[in-house]
Structure 1
Amino acid sequence: MQPFSLLFAVLASLYAGVYGFDITRNDNLAVYWGQDSAGNQQSLSSYCEDDTIDNIVMAFLYVFFGPANTLSQPEIDFANTCNQFDFSTFPGTDLADCSFMASQIEACQAKGKIVTLSLGGATGQVGFSDASAAESLAKRVWNEFLGGSSSTRPFGSAVLDGLDLDIESGSSAHYDTFVNTIRSLSAGASKRYYITAAPQCPFPDEWIQPALDASLFDAVFVQFYNNFCELSEPNNYNFDTWASWAKSGSDNKDIKIFIGAPASSKAAGTGYVGPNTLGNFATAAQDSSSSMGGVMLWDVSEAVANGNYHQKIKSILTANGDGPKKPSNTTIAATATKPSATAVKTKSASAHKATSTESTSSDKTASKAESKDDKAATRVNSRFFRANN
């Protein structure tokens, strides 16, 4: 290795150790990427230039067992960046070949961020017929996205840092088998693999709760939106319920609870609050619970379009948090040119978008911009969202 390359590697490692993702902290910021929610999604690597982001969750692997192919391969869709419709697929499958993203993923990891893959989504074709099917998918996901080996690795040589389960349909059965199999496969690995879940805020969650109670998860990104317990309904907001479960019901007593929030009023049907209001919820959780892990935002494209909302949240988190203070941020332009690839077809996991009008004049205006009747009318089945919430 050349001296300059060695120096760069050492500096990158030191930076990652000081400013990177740390599951023990309470000021982490996780953002979802991949569904082009705001219509101007940039490359993965462009968001990794922003030092305020700690965890990028790629959305989605939205079909567990592809019915259109003979190899039962899963299907992934990252909107305008990579999908099975506009990009090449592995022969005999509908699994997109996104190997050009390997260098982007590795660049993010070099900055201390973790890059994980979310399975499911609001329109995901998910679920297991039996425990054997769950074990089979776990082994396939391990070999194709994590620390295993396969001739069909969508991200080539890049090794993701873990998985996220955003399960919003189907049966709740056998997800514990899936998680336990991943844990078994990763035992003794040279790197840590993280497993998170994104339940709806009503407790217990309808789809993933049995697995949450029976398997080892590192963090839970609770969706405090599109539900009666959302952030904009403070009397029903139930972070404390989830924090109590973390200590008394979770198999991992060190599990972290993230406050999941929309990054703009356009990112969800209901539940958006301004940065100061969300910051107040976050600092209260930091002060009251050792289970607080940080904030999750859907999604990063919406955050950038909404005046770099995520940076405002991270600033509040770090000011009150227990982690090291970061250097000044890199601002991402919301009006940057879109990648040239064609947007996904309606089969995409993000076929529908919320239509509410965003208000940015103040937290008070944002939280009261719509009546309850208006909110109900704008609920959509988009990404995390259920139409009947």
Structure 2
Amino acid sequence: MSFLSILHILFSLSLLRYVSSFDITRNDNLVLYWGQNSYGATHSNTADYQQRLSFYCGSDSVTDTFPLAFLTTFFGEGGVPSMDFSNICSTDNDPVFSGTELPNCSFMASDIETCQAAGKIVTISLGGATGAVGFTSDSQAQSFADQIWNIFLGGSSSTRPFGNAVLDGIDLDVEGGGSAHYAAFVTQLQTHFKGASKKYYVTAAPQCPFPDANLGSVINAVPFDAVYVQFYNNYCGLQAFSNPNDWNFGTWDNWAKTTSPNKNVKVYIGAPADSTAAGSGYVDAGTLANVIQQTKSQFSSFGGVMMWDASQAYANGRFDVAAKNALTGGSSAPSPTSSKSSSSSSSSSKTSSAPSSTPTSGGCAGVAAWQTGVAYVGGDSVSFNGHLWTAKWWTENDTPGGQAGVWTDDGACTSAAVATKSVKAIKTPVADVSTRASSEAQDAKSTPNADDVVTPISDTRKAASETSTFRPRWGRD
């Protein structure tokens, strides 16, 4: 090995000190499900379709955990599980291991390791709304745990769909089939974790009605690190936050402290990332911020926010950034660059330009007037009703001085200090960001470059609307 090679390795190792590692004990973590291209299920604008995983782990990423959704079949051909990641990797568009229905997604190894190197964890989510999952006995569940360990985690197998990449744990999104024998599955899996060279995590995504019909007895029986409660598609969804008879985060907090075998388990608010991501439960960014801050301050089990899903969040004006800003109080989150596409199935986009009406005299001269339909990020300033206002975090359609509390009143416009402040609109036409999906001739399986620019989907991996059955993670109504 050359001297320069040794220096390069030492330099690379030194950089690891500056990458924040994942911390499950925090209360500002963000979980973003990836894999099902939920946006593509209801929109035809391919520019905002789901990108490769590494695209969401770049320098502007605010996500801490990526569950890969979903491992849809437990016992497929040859007794091996199967999985589907829509337009990125599936049995429709990719080779499978001989004698199985397990797609070979080894090109995703570099994506997974890119995210992990950035201090994020990547897990495999089992189930989904249409998953063919379940066990007939404890022994079958235990054997399946051994198989999951060998295929996805720290074990070894000839059928490892992500090659040498080692995932960070599993997530149970069981939305049908009952809870029988899942406790044996988790217990057996956790025996592999003991003495392992890295930390592994076990999470679950129950529906908000308590107890969850499929996971309730499981999370009562064995320790989980976190539960991503789906506060949507149910009466207890985010739309019911102001109704104490329906909103039941307090019930989940009580479960965490009194019933869960892990008294340090974290409870997340599960939220749709756009109105088309779920049947009900979507709320705008300002409302979600209010829910986050009140819940975070009231319940010590609060761990953060889960969103369904990555494609929807990025198309919806970087809804993930809005949530992260609310979780962290508006600290250091990057400004969104993606556009919010129309909620209809057309490819047209909702666009907003900076407001044209600005004061021309007084201390607020040059500061744009607040306007509906424009998204602002933390630090943006506007004038409204004769005062200067500064956004605390991402906001849209929240009137300065209103109940959402997202604007700081900097005083009357006569203050000279406000004259230099300006506003920026963060929404851009889809045409401006469509370059993310350009250069179709490039090989989708190449390693992402140092700038974490997404590698476009190749011609052999056709648009998901033509080749895949979408599985939006819509739960039970």
TM over 0.5: yes
User: Paired residue for 1:92, among 99, 108, 133?
Assistant: 99
Determine the C-alpha separation between the residues in 2 that align with 1:268 and 1:347.
Answer: 22
- How many angstroms does 1:162 deviate by? 0.6
Partner of 1:315: 325
1:27 partner amino acid: D
8 Å contact from structure 1 (residues 59, 78) kept in 2: yes
Deviation at 1:26, TM superposition (A): 0.3
Distance 1:308 1:327, change over 3 A: closer
Which residue, 285, 301, 309 being the options, matches 2:311? 301
Secondary structure at 1:183's aligned position in 2?
helix
Distance 1:114 1:332, change over 3 A: farther
Distance in 2, Cα, partners of 1:246 & 1:346:
44
Q: Is the contact made by 2:71 and 2:82 (CA closer than 8 Å) also made in structure 1?
A: yes
Task: State the Cα distance separating 1:279 from its structure 2 match.
Answer: 1.1
Q: Which residue of 2 aligns with 1:38?
A: 39
Aligned residue number for residue 222 of structure 1 = 229
SS in 1 for 2:236: coil
State the 1:51 CA deviation: 3.0
Larger Rg: 2
| Change in CA separation of 1:348 and 1:258 when aligned onto 2, cut-off 3 Å | farther
Aligned residues: 347
Instruction: Tell me the equivalent position of 1:286.
Output: 296
Distance, in Å, in 2 between the alignment partners of 1:52 and 1:250 is 29
Q: What are the ranges of 5 or more consecutive residues in structure 2 without an aligned counterpart?
A: 41-48, 340-432, 438-455
Shift of 1:349: 7.1
Equivalent-residue separation in structure 1 for 2:54 and 2:126 (angstroms):
21
Q: Contact between 2:87 and 2:468, CA under 8 Å: does it hold in 1?
A: no
Counterpart CA distance in 1 for 2:18 and 2:129 is 36
Report SS of the residue matched to 1:221.
strand
User: What residue is the counterpart of 2:355 in the other structure?
Assistant: none
Which residue of 1 is the match for residue 285 of structure 2?
275
Q: 1:3 aligns with which of 1, 7, 10?
A: 7
Structure 1 residues not aligned, in runs of 5+: 352-381
Confirm or deny that 1:132 pairs with 2:139.
Answer: yes
- Determine the C-alpha separation between the residues in 1 that align with 2:132 and 2:34: 19
1:384 deviates by 3.8
1:339-380: CA deviations, max 9, x gaps? 2312558996734xxxxxxxxxxxxxxxxxxxxxxxxxxxxx
The 1-side partners of 2:184 and 2:74 are apart by 15
How many angstroms apart in 2 are the aligned matches of 1:142 and 1:347?
30
Distance 2:463 2:132 in 1: 20
Mapped partners of 1:347, 1:230: distance in 2: 33
Taking structure 1 as reference, are residues 327 and 167 closer, same or farther at Cα in structure 2, changes over 3 Å only? closer
| Percent of aligned pairs with the same amino acid | 52
Moved over 6 A (4+): 345-349
Tell me the CA shift for residue 16 of structure 1.
2.6
Query: Once superposed, what is the RMSD of the aligned Cα atoms?
Result: 1.9
TM-score by length of 2: 0.70
Say whether 1:16 aligns with 2:25: no
Alignment of 1:61-72 (within 5 A): 61-66=71-76, 69=77, 71-72=78-79
2:426 counterpart residue number: none
Paired residue secondary structure (2:307) = strand
The answer to whether the 8 A contact 1:47-1:332 is kept is: no
User: Of the two structures, which has the highest relative contact order with CA contacts closer than 8 Å and spacing of 6 or more?
Assistant: 1
Between the aligned partners of 2:333 and 2:272, the Cα distance in structure 1 is 25
Find the residue that maps to 1:82 and give its secondary structure: coil
Scaled by the length of structure 1, the TM-score of the pair is 0.85
User: Do the aligned residues in 1 keep the contact of 2:321 with 2:336 (CA within 8 Å)?
Assistant: no
Partner of 2:386: none
Match of 2:112 among 81, 94, 105: 105
